[in-house]
A and B are shown apart, each in its own frame.
Chain A
Amino acid sequence: MTSSDKRSDAVASARYRVMHDTHYRYAAPVSLAQQLAHLWPRESSWQHCLSRQLTISPEPTRRRDEQDVFGNPLTRLAFERPHGELEVGARLEVEVLARPAIDLATSPSWESARDSLGYSGQPLNTERLEASRFRFESPAVRIKHAFVLFADDCFTPGRPLLQAVDALMRKIFTDFTFDPAATQVATPLLEVLEKRRGVCQDFAHLMLACLRSRGLAARYVSGYLLTQPPPGQPRLIGADASHAWVSVYCPRFGWVDFDPTNAVLPNLEHITLAWGRDFSDVSPLRGVILGGGSHDPEVRVTVLPVDEAER
């Protein structure tokens, strides 16, 4: 197992055990609560979930497991009896397969990718219709001229889309400082842009804003990242927390992931939970409670390679 940012062709797959625990201790009793959990990984051609378990305390009065509108597994929970704490623990075993290597330089120009999604009065195939969902403003991603300007030097005329996106990812990685103290869940993107600081979520949102402000289709991916620093190498940021990155739609190539927090193209070390327009669509645990007082949760995430854990 390597943890460099190079694609490793030597390893075809990796297996992980993920533990994701959320613990709310409310200052006052909560009489009624509803929670939406995006804690089960979605299936894809490069990822399979081998086992999954969700332990919830107190016992919810209602639980439904279904798919949300973006195709992600979603668990709806309702708690209709007073409770002072809430614990949700996810235990996952996931197999991640290596994604085929791609040549960024052979992708179509970013302008043609943009224009192919614009309205022309012609019928749209399912793939384009799907991509169109991710081209516009969403609760956390505004479309602003400032985001166009920020990425101008990456999107030079005629540049292959995926190269331009790769450049944008590296620009964010280079220009911005990872700083958990700088932002909160609700910090507006323009402020992130101004401060040049934030966390993976902010960087993903910023990158989405830059892409969508140009009319490109890009979605937010929520998941986990393996962080295991070998001696002498820097530790990747995002350890022991949920992670977020970006996926871009490119005609002929489909969806290609980019991680601006680490300047890598996600492969064997990124575990995908869910994707949507932004964080608000796929927050690991989002809810509304009645009562409760202050309620900062304690969240613990551990990602272990299976061979290390068991064998």
Chain B
Amino acid sequence: MRFGYVLHLFSTAGSDALHPAGVCRRGPARARPGPRRYGDSAGGCHGGEGERRGDIGCIVRSLGCFPSEAELRELLAKLVEEVEDEEATRFIHMEKFLPVMTKVLLDRSYWPIREDVLLHAFEALDENKCGYITKEDLVKYLTEEGEPFTEEEMEEMLSIALDPETDTLHYRDYLSKLVVDETKIFPFHV
């Protein structure tokens, strides 16, 4: 039942313009094993040709999966041929993507993270168990441990999450804000 969604996501993701070299700002880091490249625009909403590498992460995650960066790289490795073509954009064709993605969904790889598990994770970072984490600690943990955030990602998270007066993250409130928002919108949320 979810498989039709993959096609729709493809056309959504393909609708945007390319990312030419030199553009500084971009959203959250996606699985991009190669350097940024530019090439032909996909030409409107009717993608058709395939998906750029950087979009694969976006698509996989929008289908309700929660892969880590390492897992995404593995997935991409399965999809990309090792052809070093300097001029061409790194596109991945739908015919290749669909079976791989289907398997991911059937195998329930990268399955969603439950809210209570997430809460435990925040609590693990909250040494004093006071219900909040300071900005410094948050930045330290998330940019130094695990699969570190880029500066952009950290900034973006802080702009949503941080209580500007106290410079702390009250994680229960934060979660309730984001998680509720999600369930209203996305059809796959657990």
Q: Do A and B bind each other?
A: no
Binding site for B on A (CB under 8 A): none
- Give residues in B with beta carbon < 8 Å to A: none
